[in-house]
Amino acid sequence: MYMGSIALFAFVAGVIPFGYMAEEEHEGNRLFRAEWPLPEEGETAAAEEFRMAA
């Protein structure tokens, strides 16, 4: 019973932020989104050959 109450508390504590984010995004605000395309996308380093130690 004790573990069940802790699991229920963790579930409720996790759902509250998602409800907040859903309300904010419903109003048109964008939360926690990355800007796409990433600025570093075109600047890739040259691929190095993979070598294993003998």
Taking CA atoms, 41 is separated from 3, 19, 32, 33, in Å, by 45, 33, 20, 17
Q: Is residue 15 part of a domain?
A: yes
- In the chain, the amino acid numbered 42 is G
Domain range for residue 18? 1-29
pTM reported for the whole predicted model: 0.44
Q: Which pLDDT score is estimated for 39?
A: 56
Q: Which pLDDT score is estimated for 23?
A: 87
Q: Is residue 1 part of a domain?
A: yes
10-residue stretch averages of pLDDT, the chain, 54 residues long: 94 90 81 59 62 74
Q: Which pLDDT score is estimated for 1?
A: 85
Tally of domains in the chain: 1
Q: Which pLDDT score is estimated for 20?
A: 86
> Is the CB of residue 24 less than 8 Å from the CB of residue 33?
no
Q: Which pLDDT score is estimated for 11?
A: 94
* Angstrom distance (rounded) from CA 46 to CA 29: 38
Q: Is the peptide bond before 37 cis (omega within 30 degrees of 0)?
A: yes
Q: Which pLDDT score is estimated for 5?
A: 95
Q: Is residue 4 part of a domain?
A: yes
